[in-house]
Amino acid sequence: MTRKTRLRPLLAAPLVALTLAAAAPAHANCFADYKAKKENPLRLSYGVIQLSGGACASTAAARPEVAHRIARGGWTLLAVLSIFGPDGLAQRKANAGANYLRY
């Protein structure tokens, strides 16, 4: 194997990384609204969360990410209601209150 052949994978890696980075913004502004609960005493909550690109495909795809992130605050996910872009943030801000982009 020549030195030139060994360097090709090293040169290709940055190109692949740049290509993936360029594709990422297509889903970078993806959000979901959700309903959650806490027990003892029972508390219900509505919130808005920003998602990673892979979770933007559907509410089912968003469910594991949302559940994991809100669990840090002691919440249990009841439902992911919808997936939307930045244009839907303003109309949901007042209803989400303290759980607006919290997690």
Mean pLDDT of residues grouped by 10 in the chain (103 residues)? 55 42 53 97 97 94 97 97 96 96 95
Q: What is the pLDDT of residue 14?
A: 45
Query: Does 2 map to a domain?
Result: no
Domain range for 82 is: 27-99
- Sequence-distant (≥ 6) Cβ neighbours of residue 89 within 8 angstroms: 31, 48
Angstrom CA distances, 14 to 18, 19, 30, 44, 60, stand at 6, 9, 26, 46, 33
Q: Is residue 80 part of a domain?
A: yes
Domain count for the chain? 1
Q: What is the pLDDT of residue 28?
A: 59
In a domain, 7, yes or no: no
Model confidence, pTM: 0.72
**What's the number of CA atoms in the CB half-sphere (13 Å) around residue 13?**
4
Structure tokens at 96: 């989400």
